[in-house]
Chain A
Amino acid sequence: MSDEPIARVRITSPRTRAARSRTRRSNAAEIDALTRLGEVYVQSLMRAQLRLAGYVVLLLAASIGLLPVVFQLLPVSHVHLLGIPLPWLLLGVAVYPWLLGLAWWYVRRAERNEAAFVDLVEHREDPA
């Protein structure tokens, strides 16, 4: 046993309100600092929007994109509707409401994705 005086050790608990508020940043600050967590937030939004865009492209490719193949394989030219050959009716008229419908659906879903993201980012700023 030495006679040296024992150095005084200060013990603090991190479980105080002050300490916690210093280490826990808002989500917007995580994004600002481009931390791992911040990047995860940004990526989650990008993935959601890209997936949605992918759905639209798939629907487009599987509908309008397949029309030339359909025309090649099936004798649709001889089918008449309202006196007009089917390919003319499809390409001249029917594709436009379909494009418009896809666009309308996309805009609604994309805005919903963004609203969900805003909720996610701003919700956690409130004290739980």
Chain B
Amino acid sequence: MRELTALLAVTIVATATLAVGAFGLRVSRTTSDFFVASRRVGPFLNASAIGGEYLSAASFLGVAGLVLLRGVDMLWYPIGWTAGYLLLLVFVAAPLRRSGAYTLPDFAEFRVESQAARQVASWLVCLIGALYLVPQFQGAGLTLSAITGAPTWVGAALVAFVVLVNVAAGGMRSVTLVQAFQYWIKLCALLVPALLLWLAWHHHGSPSHHLHSSDWVEPLRGPHATYLTYSLILATFLGTMGLPHVVVRFYTNHDGTSARRTTLGVLAMLSMFYLLPTAYGALGRVYASDLIGSGRTDSVVLELPERVLGGTGATLLTALLGAGAFAAFLSTSSGLVVSVSGVLSQDVLSRRFDSVTGFRIGGVVAAGGALVLAEGTQGLPVAHAVELAFAVAASTFCPLLLLGIWWRGLTALGAMAGMVGGGILSGTAVVAVMVGVHATGWAGALLAQPALLTVPVAFMTMVGVSLADRARVPLHVGRAMVRLHLPETVDVDRGSYAPMS
């Protein structure tokens, strides 16, 4: 009965997504509907859409699991994922919209006027996209197995299938309204059970066993905790602006001013959402602490209703949570696969295939590759895998965006050197974690949270090489700065750059 209800809920979400994809095929096939949307979509809807695409498996399941496992220090994850939008707001949002760039490789090409820099950025989009996709697929496998007992690959394959059908149909890309709904579905799917669970906990006399162990309740108790915390802060605060599926959404804003207001809206929506995982983590400590021993902390959100309430109510709530979780996997995976396959088709496959075929092949490569990786790296906590993607983004695209927008001296060579250097350093840590290297002491801390080292190195490389190469500052940097910073109401020449479509 429980399995059936949950399965029904997941099927409804998957079918609805497929139906929307099929509908999207008819109404919107090209990037140009972003232009159409840009005239009609207001900041509120846009902010909901960004929230819908952004809140992934890591937010829906992973944070609660980490809080259950490791306590108060893990609250920095949701803080970082929210504060990242504050830094995006103050440094990037309006200029990025004004640049007219549709993707990060577009921005690299526009700003440093180099096809080679564009290529480097394209490969990085693929790398970050794949890193971010893996935990989505893992989360899907875990969810389906927790609520129905199916083997983990079934859920992962289901999400990959739905996303691929969507990408092949060309849907999802433009459906701002659907992504916006996804946010509210996710919020309700987490909020309603949380309230009921809290009431039940109160009814049980507010039990608090396991809540007082000092390792869990007090901050910074583990080895290297201060380093790890600051490194996590740096990665998440600076990584958000470099996520490929986030950047694309800024294009649907009408102008720089509305890009800022949209970002403010995103901050408000994330702030509401991220109050909830903490509650699940803490309740999990009371009712489901055995999950720590069995290594299944990521499924705490899904298991709580059954343990706290039982009966039909629990069945319905589990189904609701499962549906919300699948909404999270599907929306984030779709956004990522679309971004990655767009880049693959444009910059890697365009010489051999026409754009539509290239786009589809790109989608298959992206989703297939991530699926294989997801099966190969089971056991890595979902939220930590996502955090590594943030570390890579913070060590590559963050310096590109910050220096590109605010410093005239950036050259193509400098940008490439910084992206490659930061990418290799942070990528090494990612590979080490994925293949299961268990270093101890400082090496272990560095591999677990590389950002505090790799981000400054990437910045210094980009600045240093640009200074050495200053004879080759891009020709049109003056015009680029006019375009990036001047409000749209001032009637000036903004150059002729237009992204490939």
| Contact present for B485 and A45 (CB under 8 Å) | yes
| Contact present for B490 and A121 (CB under 8 Å) | yes
Residues of A within 8 A of B (CB): 28, 31-32, 34, 39, 42, 45-46, 49-50, 52-53, 56-57, 60, 64-65, 68-69, 71-72, 77, 85, 87-88, 91-93, 95-97, 99-100, 102-104, 106-107, 110-111, 114, 117-118, 121-122
| Contact present for B481 and A42 (CB under 8 Å) | yes
* Residue in contact with A118 in the complex, picked from B83, B214, B267, B489, CB distance below 8 Å: B489
The number of chain B residues with a CB under 8 A from chain A is 46
**Chain B residue with Cβ nearest A121:** B490
Are A77 and B83 CB-contacts (below 8 A) given A42-B481, A91-B72, A93-B275? no
Are A107 and B89 CB-contacts (below 8 A) given A42-B485, A96-B274, A100-B268? yes
CA distance A46 to B407 in the complex (A): 10
| Contact present for B264 and A107 (CB under 8 Å) | yes
Residues of B within 8 A of A (CB): 72, 75-76, 79, 82-83, 85-87, 89-91, 94, 214, 217-220, 226, 229-230, 233, 257, 260-261, 263-264, 267-268, 271, 274-275, 278, 406, 478-479, 481-482, 485-487, 489-493
CA distance A7 to B478 in the complex (A): 47
**Chain B residue with Cβ nearest A46:** B485
**Chain B residue with Cβ nearest A53:** B90
| Contact present for A46 and B406 (CB under 8 Å) | yes
* Residue in contact with A72 in the complex, picked from B94, B220, B257, CB distance below 8 Å: B220
| Contact present for A60 and B83 (CB under 8 Å) | yes
**Chain A residue with Cβ nearest B266:** A103
CB distance from A94 to the nearest CB of B (A): 10
| Contact present for B86 and A102 (CB under 8 Å) | yes
Chain B interface, DSSP helix/strand/loop, else mixed: helix
| Contact present for A32 and B493 (CB under 8 Å) | yes
CA distance A28 to B278 in the complex (A): 52
**Chain A residue with Cβ nearest B232:** A68
CA distance A70 to B100 in the complex (A): 42
CA distance A50 to B485 in the complex (A): 11
* Residue in contact with A103 in the complex, picked from B230, B257, B263, CB distance below 8 Å: B263
Closest 4 CB pairs of A and B: A96-B271, A91-B75, A53-B90, A77-B218
**Chain A residue with Cβ nearest B90:** A53
Q: What are 28 inter-chain pairs, A to B, with CB distance below 8 A?
A: A28-B491, A31-B482, A32-B492, A34-B478, A46-B485, A57-B90, A65-B233, A71-B220, A72-B219, A85-B217, A87-B218, A87-B219, A88-B217, A91-B72, A91-B75, A91-B219, A99-B267, A100-B264, A100-B268, A103-B86, A103-B263, A103-B264, A103-B267, A107-B264, A114-B257, A117-B486, A118-B489, A121-B490
CB distance from A100 to the nearest CB of B (A): 6
